[in-house]
Amino acid sequence: MRIAMIGTGYVGLVSGACFSDFGHQVVCVDKDADKIAALHKGVMPIYEPGLEALVEHNVRGGRLTFTTELAEAVAGADAIFIAVGTPSRRGDGHADLSYVHAAAREIATALTGPAVVVTKSTVPVGTGDEVERLIRETAPEAQVSVASNPEFLREGAAINDFKHPDRIVVGVEDDHARDVLEAIYRPLNLNKAPLLFTTRRTAEVIKYAANAFLATKITFINEMADLCEVVGADVQSVSRGIGLDNRIGPKFLHAGPGYGGSCFPKDTLALLKTAEDVQVPLRIVESVVKVNDARKRAMGRKVIKAMNGDVRGKTIALLGLTFKPNTDDMRDSPSISIVQALQDEGARVRAYDPEGVEQAKLVLENVEFCEDPYVAAEGADSLVIVTEWDQFRALDLSRMADILNQPILVDLRNIYSGEEAAQAGLRYVGVGQPSITA
């Protein structure tokens, strides 16, 4: 199949590369000429494990190309995927659909034959209807179907998620769109990946409902962690105890500093705004958003409390800045609120992240960025683990105890046990479990 992918951001680039790896002919389009030039040189605009090699393999095989010219990519394409950004709209929190609408109009002017236009971007319910209206308004004679195909890719594991999905959701309104998307996803369906066809509006709701539910699980276990700290229980055991129930499951039940990233914050907010517009209160999701926003800064206060309530003039070393490991994404990362809370109380912050420093420099001020964890910790008054990168799981804790000015470890991801830290000579403060003093 011939596929045009409009947008070379996270979703568009990963999806386009994976489709080409299945043998489809894919052209990825972006208006950013510098980004396209970099892609032609093999330079990725994002950090995602395995992506550079996947792109290189398919470019070399002639299945994947990049261009700034939308018309040449759309001409003759069987399917045109819209994978542009839908950030929160400034002022009201609704999803900003201006990029989606602009892409729809431009696609309409470039169509040369029958095609299926597919919204891959995360969009509120009813967006597919508007995309179809815009295309038919711009090109009344166009032979076009409009479908919804939401993505369910985890940053840091996107390629595996695309090739081994839990499910593929496709919202269609006619048989032609169904046939084309069935052919595109045939390589995955052969491997028994569930291919769920729904109406277009149902597919749009599925995406938001899934993200809101996962955000709810994260927020629930974080509130249980707060309770555990007060009553003397261990949230990790609580998480395991409830996660072994098949009706609940173990995923997204890891207590920490709250969710961030490109999806959950904006998608839960957009879902609330959609529900508000149709006068359907979503009280659970509303509470999730409020609790998560408050939790991030509360983690900064947790660090301050671990240092006896006074951090003025003291140096705090943070390990991990991105919202999760295996990405350089700083969007809505808990580290931003944590750094702000510490700096507001007069602390100096040093930080290390394996991949996120360049992005962190764009959103964090007056932070000293270090070249490795031990440089960050040297002479600091406490060590704080914010993101659970694998390389932080085997730190030399005894060395850390020796080089810290005060041997305090605040583990916001519960990577270590209190016993491990105490044996190394560190005072341990975790999330949702008793603190242990060396």
Phi and psi at 153, nearest 5°, equal -100, 130
Q: Give the total residue count for the chain.
A: 438
Q: Please, which residues have CB within 8 angstroms of residue 299's CB and are 6 or more apart in sequence?
A: 257, 258, 334, 337, 338, 341, 386, 412
DSSP category for residue 81: E
**Rounded Cα–Cα distance for residues 77 and 118 (Å):** 12
User: Which residue is associated with the tokens 């609120």?
Assistant: 337
Print burial letters for 70-81: b (CB count within 10 Å at least 16), e (below 16).
beebbbebbbbb
Q: How far apart are CA 272 and CA 144, in angstroms?
A: 31
Classified as helix, coil or strand, 18 is helix
Residues forming beta bridges with residue 367, ordered by sequence position: 349
Q: Can 228 be counted among the known catalytic residues?
A: no
CA distance 219 to 168: 26
Beta strands in 151-217 (DSSP E): 168-171, 195-198
Per-residue 3-state assignment (H helix, E strand, C coil) for 150-219: CCCCCCCCHHHHHHCCCCEEEECCCHHHHHHHHHHCHHHHCCCCCEEEECHHHHHHHHHHHHHHHHHHHH
Taking a C-beta distance cutoff of 8 angstroms, is the pair 149, 203 a contact?
yes
DSSP-derived secondary structure letter, 121? S
Q: Hunting for tokens 């959103």 — which residue is that?
A: 363
Contact call for residues 128 and 148 (beta carbons, < 8 A): yes
Catalytic residue among 18, 28, 228, 263: 263
- Decide: helix, strand or coil at residue 171: strand
Per DSSP, helices labelled H in 232-263 are 235-243
Looking up tokens 């002919």, which residue turns up? 25
Active site residues: 263
